[in-house]
Amino acid sequence: MSVNIKEWPGVPLKDRDIQSGKALTTRWQVKADYAWDTGMAMGTFLTGLKEGKILARQCDKCGRTVVPPRMFCEWCFRPTDRWVEVKDTGRVNTFSVSYVLWDATRVEKPTVPVVVEIDGCSPGVGFMHILADVGTTLEAILAKVKVGMAVKAVWKPAAERTGAITDIIHFVPREG
Amino acid sequence: MGYKNRVAVIGAGLTKFMRRAQETGKELCFEAARLALDSAGLEMKDIDCVAMATAPDAFDGVHMKGEYLADGAGGFRKPYMRSYVGGGSGVFAINHGWYHVASGHFDACLVVAEEKMSPVMPHPQAAFNAIYDQIMERPLGVNLLWIFALEMNRYMQVHGISQETIALVSVKNKKNGLDHPCAQAGIPGNYTVKEVVDSEIMVWPVTRLMVSPVSDAAGALVLVSERLARRLTDKPVWIEGVGWHLDTSYWTNRDLYYPKYVEYAARMAYRMAGITDPKTEIHVAEIYDPFAYKELHHMEGLLLADKGEAPKLLEKGVTQRDGALPVCPSGGLMGVGNPIAASGVMKLAEIYWQLRGEAGARQVSRPVRRGLAQAWGDLMQVGTVAILGV
């Protein structure tokens, strides 16, 4: 970088340096288990999901209706005022088409992550989920999915819901 | 302004960027810090305090990572402080160091940024999973690429930008990286737009050649008060402006097409530097480019291009090394590598060397008196900006 520096430090390793034992490594594995309290806002939201409802919080000062819900309005910095049930439909705000899993391994059949603006919430407000029934190839998905497209939630059967975001299996396109 | 010392950068050091370094994090810190001290002609005894930047502890697998690294950074028996704002940490580090010296508490501060991402097996992606909301997002099987692909698509859709145009960022930066002696093996290169677009799809619209790699490296800067700078060097590079800003972590409640928080960070830095027209008053910029689209997205947030106009400047060649506003002449993260916090210091070091005319093959054609470095991170929510000038 600087023309005044002639030698740059650092010894890059190759995979074979480790495999062959030329460079030594010491290994350790984390085994950590967490139980998160879901809290005042998310606890109620998850109870709603278990009942097949999407619950949002309203703030009377700024007038927003938001999911994920929070007991405080971060804009007005005051408590939010009430719970309201919003629809389980919405519109695609943005989407992508994923060929990798969380650990960077590749998959043949892609997943379509989506941000859904939820009907009944303030404009532009929603959450991330998965979009399904839109094809299995990139070409088919790009031909079908459009920003602004109407979608609806597909719920697990009531008996199988556990109070988790995955109580909604995914979103699918709907007329409208 | 209400601060005591004007602050100068008088030295910079960097290690090579590597997929996996044989050196430990501490050793990388030492190498970068030693090089920065040597370039400034100083010893550790001349340094009053140390500012460390390093990203998630999960990469190294060491909690209290700041303390773990401290000895390699010269941070013992001294005021020492670690700052961390995800990908924004590297540029935040100079803001943090600036405060130490500007406050009048210290005359000389060593800024060190380290990242060693390679220890996580089989791939650092797994460690990134823990940044997501544990109730709303992790159960969906989210990975780091998802959200950036969501943001990139939103940006493309709102302005009608093609994947081909965005690929030009990869082409430019990977080519620039060929001239960087610390560039990671296999990262820089001569590519065509078609090769970038047709490379393996990671998460559409992001292809393999539109995302920066994981890397190990460290970087360091020496900051001193004006009093010391005048004594130690004929070519001080002044910190003219610093800025940072954080948006809400409820990222699905805001429009991702525009990084407002980057704009606010930039406005803070411009105000301090007395800049009213950044398009003409910034002569060279090292803009955060962990993904190809981010360079364009951030150019707009930095007010260096109007909304939706950055792709046009790119297509016209304005951001090439011989253009009117060279962007990422170093090669950026796309061309050199992305050891998170160290990447930001690499960008600051590039501006420092550009302003001193020491960048060699990477030296931009136009005369430069003022440059900007920017980084971004957390949950697509933090902007960090520094403006250097001579």
> Around Cβ B15, how many Cβ atoms within 10 Å?
28
pLDDT averaged over chain A?
94
Does pLDDT of A102 surpass 80?
no
Q: Is residue A133 part of a domain?
A: yes
Whether B19 sits inside 8 A of A12 (CB atoms) is yes
- For residue range A81-97, list pLDDT tens digits in order: 999 999 999 999 999 99
Residue-number span of the structural domain to which B55 is assigned: 7-121+213-389
Q: What is the ipTM of this complex?
A: 0.93
What's the whole-number mean pLDDT along residues B168-193? 98
Mutant choice from A47, A96, A97, A167 vs B, greatest count of B C-beta within 10 A: A96
Q: Go through chain A and tell me how many residues it has.
A: 176
Whether A169 maps to a domain, the answer reads yes
* Residue A13: inside a domain: no
Q: B360 lies in a domain?
A: yes
Q: Which two tokens stand for residue B341?
A: 């916090």
Judged by CB atoms closer than 8 Å, whether chains meet at B140 and A130 is answered as yes
For residue B195, is pLDDT > 90? yes
What whole-number distance in Å separates Cα of residue B130 and Cα of residue B126?
Answer: 8
How far separated are the first and last CA of chain B, in Å rounded?
Answer: 19
Q: What does the pLDDT average to over B57-61?
A: 85
Q: What is the mean pLDDT of residues B336-341?
A: 96
Which H or E run includes A48?
helix A39-50
Judged against a pLDDT cut of 80, whether residue B126 lies above it is answered with no
User: Looking at the domain assignment, is residue B73 inside a domain?
Assistant: yes
Provide long-range contacts, Cβ within 8 A and 24+ apart, for B192-196: B193/B164, B193/B167, B193/B168, B196/B167, B196/B170, B196/B171, B196/B292
Is position B89 within any domain?
Answer: yes
CA-nearest residue to B355 within chain A is A2
Residue B167 lies in a domain: no
Nearest CB partner across the interface for A10, out of B134, B217, B360: B217
Among B355, B365, B315, CA closest to B8: B355
A73 belongs to a structural domain: yes
Query: Against a cut of 0.90, is the pTM above it?
Result: yes
Gap from B16 CA to chain A (nearest CA, Å) = 5
The mean pLDDT value for B61-85 works out to: 94
Continuous H helices in B274-368: 278-281, 292-301, 310-315, 332-335, 340-356
Question: Is residue B208 included in any domain, yes or no?
Answer: no
- Nearest by CB to B142, from A74, A102, A166: name it: A102
Q: Please, which residues have CB within 8 angstroms of residue B53's CB and are 6 or more apart in sequence? A: B82, B83, B84, B89, B90, B92, B93, B96, B111, B112, B113, B114, B341, B344, B345
CB B15 within 8 A of CB A1: no
A1, A28, A100 ranked by CB distance to B202: nearest: A100
CA-nearest of A102, A146, A158, A93 to A123 is: A93
Percent of chain B whose predicted confidence (pLDDT) is above 90 = 91
| Nearest CA distance, B23 vs chain A (angstrom) | 7
Q: Residue A148 falls within a domain, yes or no? A: yes
- Put simply, the answer to whether A113 touches B123 (Cβ < 8 Å) is no
d(CA B12, CA A175): 59
**Domains in chain A, number:** 1
Number of structural domains (chain B) is 1
The chain A residue lying nearest B182, using CA atoms, is A8
Confidence of residue B234 (pLDDT cuts 50, 70, 90): very high
Q: What is the mean pLDDT of residues B158-173?
A: 98
Whether A114 contacts A129, CB under 8 Å: yes
- Residue B240 domain-assigned (yes or no): yes
**A1 pLDDT more than 60:** no
Q: Mutate which of B116, B150, B176, B179 to test chain A, going by most A C-beta atoms within 10 A?
A: B150
Computed over every residue of chain B, the mean pLDDT equals: 96
User: What is the Cα–Cα distance from B277 to B295, expressed in whole angstroms?
Assistant: 20
Examine residue B85 and state whether it is found in any structural domain, yes or no.
yes
Q: What is the number of helices (H) and of strands (E) in chain B? A: 15, 11
Residue A28 within any structural domain of the chain: no
Domain range enclosing A119? 39-173
